[in-house]
Amino acid sequence: MDCGVIVCPGITIDNTAVIGAGTIVTKSIPANTIAAGVLAHSIRTTTANDEKFWQTERTNYLKGKFK
């Protein structure tokens, strides 16, 4: 974890979850969830469109194409 995120002991965060900077995670975060806040709460779940967007952004970044 980075950017000031604090995760309490025994908490699991799925590798597809997105956690906002400065979040304190006191409950496990399930797959495809965007969570943030001081005491983390689910903002929404990610969708196929989100995945497509981030894959495009990643590809552009790796190729040196910045918007």
* Domain contains 17: yes
- Spell 14-50 as b/e; 16+ CB within 10 A means b: eeebbbeeebebeeebeeebebbeeebeeeeebeeee
Give per-residue pLDDT as tens, 22-47: 999 999 999 999 999 999 999 999 99
pLDDT given at position 29: 96
Which CATH number is 41's domain given? 2.160.10.10
First to last CA, the chain: 27
> Which domain covers residue 42, as residue numbers?
6-62
pTM for this one? 0.73
Q: What percent of the chain has pLDDT over 70?
A: 94
* Domain contains 57: yes
pLDDT score of 64 more than 90: no
* Domain contains 67: no
Q: What percent of the chain has pLDDT over 90?
A: 67
* Domain contains 37: yes
Tell me the sheet residues that pair with 42: 35
Query: In terms of pLDDT, which residue wins out, 37 or 1?
Result: 37
